[in-house]
Amino acid sequence: MSPTTLTQIGRYRILGELGRGAMGIVYRAEDPMLNRPVAIKTIIMSADPEVRGEYERRFHQEAKAAGGLNHPNLITIHDIGREGDILYMAMELLEGVDLRELMQRGRLELRLALDILAQVADGLAYAHERGVVHRDIKPGNVMVLPNGRAKVMDFGIARMRASDIKTQTGAVVGSPKYMSPEQVRGTVADGRSDIFSLGIVLYEVAAGTAPFSAPDTAQFMHQIATATPPPPSALNERLPRVLDLIVARALEKDPDARYQSAAEMAADLRSCLAPLPEAGIDTSLDFDLNLTTTRAARSTTAAPRKVDTRTLKLAPLSAATDTGMHFVLSRRFDSKAGLDKLADLSRSAKS
């Protein structure tokens, strides 16, 4: 069955193509049994028996990892199946814009950006508690809905920490720009690897540039493993200084010195967010979004939809994530160490 001529797969009626990835195509489809739209992620299995078997094992592993997760900040998996040479997964069809698209339009208002990333951290905390590591956190895998809700998508290379399926020693998985030092070295990566990747995204949305930059992949990976970027406020002095501390802790090379849970990072992001002005009243950064020519989202797991960031609201906090009125940093936050590190960086820059 050719993927370009698909009209139906399993019980799902194909309505159109949403995007293409490294391993297959994602379709917009309709579930006639439940009368709802869905996204269908497919993998066309290779004719090579060894590769075919690995693809199928990895696909089922993804389904096992993602299918057991039920959280408002994670995409929902509905079904999995196989038809001929095609494996497929039916998932929630999201209407929104991915974070990559929002960043391409211009810098996000800081309050909105911190709220989105705090939600991502909430979703990751839930996944990590259940043994699931995403391994590919990046702006393109975060969908922002019109009501401000953020959803983490594509657990395509997620691994169950206790999985029986082994990967090749030293294999590197993830997007190079957002990799953790553990991924670069090819060592075991747990949930703290996702925290490092989220720290890179946080740096990028706050400072307006990536923390690491190099002309080729090898040098890029070397920077991730060894280089310490300047604090975001060194690139934009109007950023709150507490954000430097959050970024510094998230980007620690040693996982033991990093945030030990995404829930801690989410709490600190909300502590940083609390004193900022309400969304839509920007006094912290010079944001110039091109709101008159909003482009449709481009995503491999969600339907394109125009979202006007002028009306994008902060998602309501749940009882589980409301930090109350004190907004203190996590008790494990070592502010002295963070300030010492920033002082050293400042002295180095002046010398």
Burial category of 23 from C-beta neighbours within 10 Å (exposed 0-12, middle 13-18, buried 19 and up) = middle
Structure-token pair, residue 41: 């992620």
Closest CA to 98 of 298, 291, 294, 293: 298
Helix axes 191-207, 110-129, angle to 10 degrees: 170
Task: Tell me how far apart the 2 most distant CA atoms of the chain are, in Å.
Answer: 69
State the residue for tokens 């038809």. Answer: 83
Burial category of 340 from C-beta neighbours within 10 Å (exposed 0-12, middle 13-18, buried 19 and up) = exposed
CB 109 within 8 A of CB 285: yes
- What distance in Å separates the CA atoms of residue 90 and residue 41, rounded to the nearest whole number? 6
Reply yes or no on whether 79 is catalytic.
no
How far, in whole angstroms, is CA 282 from its chain's centroid?
A: 25
* Close Cβ partners of 106 (under 8 Å, ≥ 6 residues apart): 287, 288, 289, 290
Query: Which entry of 98, 115, 122, 136 is annotated as an active-site residue?
Result: 136
* Close Cβ partners of 287 (under 8 Å, ≥ 6 residues apart): 106, 107, 108, 109, 110
DSSP code of 7? S
Measured at the alpha carbon of residue 64, what is the angle toward residues 194 and 154, in degrees to the nearest 5?
A: 45
Torsion sign across C-alpha atoms 228, 234, 236, 241: positive
Strand-pairing partners, residue 28, are: 16, 39
Structure-token pair, residue 50: 């060894």
Residues with active-site annotation: 136
